[in-house]
Structure 1
Amino acid sequence: MSILKIVHRTTFEYDHEISSSYNEARLVPAWLPRQRVLESRVDISPVSWRTSYRDYWETDVIAFEITESHRALTVTSTSQVEVTPQPARDERKSWDELSGPKFQDLLAEYLLTSPATEPTAELADFAHEAAAKGSPDDAAREICDYLHRVINYVPGSTGVHTPARDAWEARSGVCQDFAHLAIGALRTIGIPARYVSGYLQPKADAEIGVAMHGESHAWLEWWSGDWFGFDPTNDKEAGEHHVIVARAREYSDVPPLSGVFGGKGSTLSVKVSVTQLA
């Protein structure tokens, strides 16, 4: 079990004074069976109006607007979260069960690829070869291991709108690309898979009480009887150092911060710190 304090600060500085801004923030960690939110707040400056709601994907969303002239916007999310490891998995489904009408219907949203997740023919061929050799869990793990081996993690090499195919061709990307590539490959062979966004405590033996440079992170979960989280960027199970904020089909369903403003030209800076409290 870990207790983590996460501070995520996003600042937009505009080239000129702007008159208005309308935004949504998905920054609050989720309440889950293995994840308890002990404290959470989101500070926004400036702000004229704000409200909260839960979206289709069961993500907590803060919608806010600024209707006064401003040159900068700062959104700071501060949370304390208790996270336990993933439980042992008991029930697992076979290929025949996954391909049956029951789960094809219930999990249809997590079986369709999109421009963001569509794999190349080369990656799809590898996925089918992996599926022919073992169980759905074995195939999913082999695909994730393979991506970790052949794709280089290069910060800044892609953007939030980069399709998975482009990252594959370049053999480089960021955590979002690893997640999208794995999701597309798994869906191609009939394994439901979904995108997870959140945070990662990057150092397993972090000193208690010392703030470290953290990461806004992405990984995936696949379904083979229950949902199982795996981090292909780091080639390991999602565990007590992974904090979940949102889960959906792909990044565009649950961006951390999105919106429009009345003007043009801005500079974005993001800083995440993670402190191990227990």
Structure 2
Amino acid sequence: MVDSWRLLIQHKTGFGYAGKVGSSYNEARMSPRNEPRQAVLETRVEVWPPAHTHRYEDYWGTQVTALDVHSPHDHLSVTATSTVETLPPGDLIEPGGGADWAELAVPDNVDRWYELLLPTPRTALDEELTALAESIRGAHATPHAAAMALCEQIRAEVAYTAGATGVQTDAVQAWRQRQGVCQDISHLVVGLLRTMGVPARYVSGYLHPSSSAEIGDDVVGQSHAWVEWWVGRWTAYDPTNGVPVGARHVVVGRGREYGDVPPLKGVYSGPANTGQSVEVTITRLR
């Protein structure tokens, strides 16, 4: 029997300002997606002060709630509440399985995934990391085996340290200090995979922190990031925790890097921003 989970996720975030803001324009990427390994039973986004909102799907397939506020306000609060049914990892690829190096280099495949083979500001590598990518590629017969070995090495060498970095930190910085958060570890893995010639994308979502969660308990959850790579088909892996993506993971969006999927971003007219607040609560319902 498949052990599915049902998760209730409440994600509260927003900005404070040093005075009254006349107007603000924002985009929230906080609504999970319907896809084969998760079913969204309910999702809603609430905004304070009241805002004009509309929803659309962006270039990468992420659900976006666009909102603009035209009344004076000194803070903006956005709360996304979702109920999602999730499944454990499915048909996992064996280390020696998937497409081979020659298949990834076929021009049609390179052209198909071109945007996911290019470096971005947060995933670009230096000479040391480029050499690391080349050595890992050379040591493994298949791209999937190389990807798994890469995740293991990054997890062993880069310590997960809350607060060690910020949203602007790039892969090179995280590698040099050998510490970071899930965003940094995912950027490192994505950048190294692309340098090896493996199409890779950054995934943003949520993670329930406990594999033995009690039904009905509210816990402090996490906005989380992991990676997917293409070796004939897409496969997902959480390099921060060293596990396949499963029932504890909820996908919100995908892109080239964090800059494509920030939970909340926007522009405004008025005094200085005094900071952003974030609070995620996750409850296992069954």
Instruction: Give the TM-score normalised by the residue count of structure 1.
Output: 0.97
Alignment of 1:157 onto 2:164: yes
Asked whether the equivalents of residues 163 and 181 of structure 2 are also in contact (C-alpha less than 8 Å), the reply is yes
SS in 2 for 1:255: coil
Equivalent residue letter for 1:272: V
Q: Distance in 2 between matches of 1:57 and 1:217?
A: 18
SS in 2 for 1:113: coil
Which structure 2 residues correspond to residues 104-143 of structure 1 after superposition, within 5 A? 104-134=110-140, 135-143=142-150
1:270 corresponds to which residue? 278
Which structure 2 residues correspond to residues 17-56 of structure 1 after superposition, within 5 A? 17-56=20-59
Match 1:10 to one of 13, 16, 19? 13
Q: Distance in 2 between matches of 1:115 and 1:10?
A: 25
Unaligned 5+ runs, structure 1 = none
Q: Distance in 2 between matches of 1:235 and 1:272?
A: 22
Which structure 2 residues correspond to residues 206-225 of structure 1 after superposition, within 5 A? 206-225=213-232
Match 1:199 to one of 206, 213, 217? 206
SS in 1 for 2:90: coil
Q: Distance in 1 between matches of 2:109 and 2:173?
A: 31
Asked whether the equivalents of residues 31 and 37 of structure 1 are also in contact (C-alpha less than 8 Å), the reply is yes
SS in 1 for 2:186: helix
Match 2:235 to one of 228, 235, 250? 228
The CA deviation string for residues 208-236 of structure 1, in whole angstroms up to 9 with x for no partner, is: 11010000000100110111111111111
* Superposition deviation, residue 81 in structure 1: 0.5
Q: Distance in 1 between matches of 2:89 and 2:117?
A: 23
Alignment of 1:148 onto 2:145: no
Instruction: Give the TM-score normalised by the residue count of structure 2.
Output: 0.94
**What is the percentage of aligned positions where both structures have the same residue?**
46
Q: Distance in 2 between matches of 1:208 and 1:78?
A: 18
SS in 1 for 2:247: coil
1:87 corresponds to which residue? 90
1:249 corresponds to which residue? 256
Task: Using the TM superposition, name which of 229-238 and 115-124 deviates more.
Answer: 115-124
Task: Using the TM superposition, name which of 195-204 and 127-136 deviates more.
Answer: 127-136
Match 1:60 to one of 51, 57, 63? 63
Q: How many residues align?
A: 278
CA RMSD of aligned residues (A): 1.2
* Superposition deviation, residue 121 in structure 1: 2.1
Asked whether the equivalents of residues 15 and 273 of structure 2 are also in contact (C-alpha less than 8 Å), the reply is no
1:100 corresponds to which residue? 106
SS in 1 for 2:137: helix
Q: Distance in 1 between matches of 2:224 and 2:261?
A: 13
* Superposition deviation, residue 48 in structure 1: 3.1
Q: Distance in 1 between matches of 2:261 and 2:54?
A: 17
Equivalent residue letter for 1:27: M
Equivalent residue letter for 2:89: Q
Asked whether the equivalents of residues 202 and 257 of structure 2 are also in contact (C-alpha less than 8 Å), the reply is yes
CA separation of 1:115 and 1:13: change in aligned 2, threshold 3 A? closer
Asked whether the equivalents of residues 120 and 256 of structure 2 are also in contact (C-alpha less than 8 Å), the reply is no
The CA deviation string for residues 26-69 of structure 1, in whole angstroms up to 9 with x for no partner, is: 00001101110011111101133111111111111111100010
SS in 2 for 1:105: helix
Task: Using the TM superposition, name which of 23-32 and 48-57 deviates more.
Answer: 48-57
SS in 2 for 1:180: helix
Task: Using the TM superposition, name which of 154-163 and 118-127 deviates more.
Answer: 118-127
